[in-house]
Structure 1
């Protein structure tokens, strides 16, 4: 499922219990609390008209009475009904909760551990503990806790962030939007004031975070859309590497922001990849070994060749020193 569809599904599932708990709330107030635009909220409410129980006829579908002044749920289709878990469902939920706890910033770990304990107590022996004891769970880093707190309070942040693609540590002032899960990693989606655009900051690469006194004020388009949820959106200001990838190394396309441009009969593929610094890209190419051949640009070919020769020379010296002893 795409990030856009999964994020909207999560919003839709949360709307019914939210409006049951807040009957008559205005669209503007609800949108502000839910972190979406009023336009997006009204679109989600219209989508709920088509959701409900099997049969999908009158009396089955969710029913609402809503305008921009007031929103009320008149029929919940059972979403507010107490949930009774089977042992299989309880076990699956425990596994999911423990997985979320291991992903920085996705949930409050203390609350998650309390929920795990309650589910295990309710499920009894039918759903045995599926992970390490709560006492052994890793503590949340101060930086991640600060990010979650600032997001909850609607405050801007100062970040010290390591960018793997640029191989640099930078200072950023950002306006947080939300925390998202992309490709099994958790990210802070935020408006970066220096880049003047929406960026994703991987939470385990945030070295330090300081909450500012001023409110988070991202532009409306940053809040309402899924801008920058593609991790490797093209930056035309960066140079482009051209690489030939051997058939047994095609797997690297799943791990690096590479664009497939040509398939060869022998199964190898030519790809392009933008990079920030020549030093970082040449180190990456050397690290991938014989599975990747650098085709261009010329300065990258030269840098890789020079590094390769230096590595071979160092190896020969080490071997000669070992032979002498």
Structure 2
């Protein structure tokens, strides 16, 4: 969510709670109300001015929220039906409980005490929802993560069988573990890969098998760890640049993947993004179906054309 839309969402929530708040405190001073609501008096006055033009469909006399001012005091005289504080639905409350439980389970999370206090209050308010059959755990089973962490602590090498999604293949390799970390709710092993002769990130849930070896981890003299402040996937200029023309049904990719350029062109968008592998890009484009056409590179255009033609041949 962008800063302007987040500010709008915050203000909407504040406005929905403002009417029942003022109804319970007729004649309250604006300064006192602003202090309790955590906003400036100027912001509160602006919110009240906006409430004055809100109300029920028809938006005529008797439909809009109304209030009376007595100096610096305000009283709601017509609430337009907004007479109760905003309440979470059962689904919303359960979603918050699940998210907080996940956050509490994440290693290295700061302010854990605050999270647990908030979770306790929410679970108390949610009542029977806390007994819902929901189990929260980090991606990758606990045994796998324990083995990974143990290998890091004991500084032992690992033999793993790993699924590489970009190439849709399983590979076996020996790695020297460096650390286990969690990014965006997913657990990763960062390790020196002897096959690639470089530091690599391995998603824990894509490690199909692993064995801790007796031999010690052998790290080069100096290794450069990944900077994950901007996320796991940070495409560099050395990766292939793919340009697609996408229709309305394919625009979601601009929100899901980091794009270098997005340019509207009539009913379509021209989107450029870097990919780790053209084979992955080929499967990705074919998965988008009629909502995407490859513009460049020429190699990808030909790959997609050939596979589409082969698929059509199966129908003849």
Q: Which residue matches 2:274?
A: 273
CA distance in structure 1 between the partners assigned to 2:265 and 2:100 by the alignment:
46
CA contact (8 A) 1:175 1:192 kept: yes
Summarize the alignment of residues 290-309 of structure 1 with structure 2, pairs less than 5 Å apart.
290-309=290-309
Q: 1:97 to 1:171 in 2, by over 3 A?
A: farther
Note the C-alpha offset of 1:184: 3.3
Question: Counterpart of 2:263?
Answer: 263
| Superposed counterparts of 1:170-249, under 5 Å | 170-216=171-217, 218=219, 221-222=223-224, 226=228, 230-234=232-236, 236=238, 239-249=240-250
Distance 1:235 1:124, change over 3 A: closer
Judged with a 3 Å threshold, the aligned counterparts in structure 2 of structure 1 residues 92 and 152 are, in CA distance, closer, same or farther, namely farther
Alpha carbons 1:260, 1:269 under 8 Å: kept? no
Deviation, 1:307, is 2.3
How many aligned residue pairs are there? 214
**Counterpart-to-counterpart distance in 1, 2:98 and 2:247:** 38
Structure 1 window deviating more from structure 2 (124-133 vs 299-308): it is 124-133
Which residue in 2 is equivalent to 1:58? none
Corresponding residue of 1:130: 130
Separation in 2 of the partners of 1:156 and 1:201?
Answer: 14
Query: So what's the TM-score if we normalise by structure 1?
Result: 0.51
Tell me the distance in 2 between the aligned counterparts of 1:157 and 1:131: 39
Of 87, 99, 102, which aligns to 2:102?
99
SS state at 2:233 partner = coil
Deviations 1:101-128 (A, max 9, x none): 9x9xx56xxxxxxxx9xx97x9995564
What corresponds to 2:70 in structure 1? none
1:167 and 1:228, CA in 2 relative to 1: closer, same or farther beyond 3 A?
A: farther
Change in Cα spacing, 1:127 to 1:260, as seen in structure 2 (3 Å) is same
Q: 1:253 to 1:169 in 2, by over 3 A?
A: farther
Unmatched segments (≥5 aa) in structure 1: 1-90, 108-115, 318-325
TM superposition shift of 1:202:
1.0
CA distance in 2 between partners of 1:145 and 1:180 (Å): 12
Q: TM-score, normalised by structure 2?
A: 0.52
The residue aligned with 2:314 is 314
Whole-Å separation in 1 of the counterparts to 2:122 and 2:252: 41
For the 8 Å contact 1:200–1:228, the answer to whether it is kept is no
RMSD: 4.4
Q: Secondary structure at the match of 1:289?
A: helix
Unaligned runs of 5+ in 2: 1-93, 108-115
CA apart distance, 1:133: 5.0
